[in-house]
Amino acid sequence: MTTLTRNSAQSLSTVALFAAVMAVLGLVPKIDLPFGVPITLQSLGVMLAGCLLGGKRGFQSLALFLLAVAVGLPLLSGGRGGIGVFMLPSAGYLIGYALAAGVIGLLMGRLPSKTPKQAALSALVASVLGGVVFLHALGIAGLVLIAQMPLEKAFLLDLAFVPGDLAKAVLCAIVVHTVAKALPDWPLGGKAA
């Protein structure tokens, strides 16, 4: 029988906490777009999980969230849940949540974050690269594969999300700046304290 150490208990609790943050962000009403992919606030949770938890725990928290959605919990914006949501045009974005949190966390862990200002700038860069470029690439792939859209059309439709997600990346950087200032020992990007 393995004993739960303080670090592993803390890790488990932060993973579960960020899965819950994603669920809370799902309470904000979605804005439906005609091509089947809604605008939601949950991509902010992806950025925060990666920046604040790091690649491994960020991925785990979003994987836990997606597992809860898959078993039917209505945690996505608009009260959606169940395995069927992974068959919709938005599936590339949903599956991308966990992967993007991992990428954001890996980037954040390699960027400078010694000062709150450096941490904020690093969070902005990591969120734009992982939460906009990478996540949108997976979303476009989902539109092409599931909605059978031509690549050019999927790319153009995806552009509707870019301004909002850039604003979320800025908001994530502000939150990271605040955390770095208030909790200077917080392991941003999963860096060892």
On whether residue 52 sits in a domain, the answer given is yes
Cα separation, 41 vs 51, whole angstroms: 16
Burial of 109 by CB count in 10 Å (0-12 exposed, 13-18 middle, 19+ buried)?
Answer: buried
The 10s digit of each residue's pLDDT in 76-107 is 988 999 999 999 999 999 999 999 999 999 99
Please tell me the total count of domains within the chain.
Answer: 1
Query: Is residue 97 in a domain?
Result: yes
* 1 found inside a domain: no
The answer as to whether 190 is a domain residue is no
State which residues form the domain around 127: 6-184
Q: In this structure, is residue 189 part of a structural domain?
A: no
Question: Around 56, how many Cα atoms within 13 Å sit in the side-chain half-sphere?
Answer: 7
Q: pTM for this one?
A: 0.92
Q: Is residue 192 part of a domain?
A: no
Query: What are the residue ranges in the chain where pLDDT is below 50?
Result: 193
CATH code where residue 12 lies: 1.10.1760.20
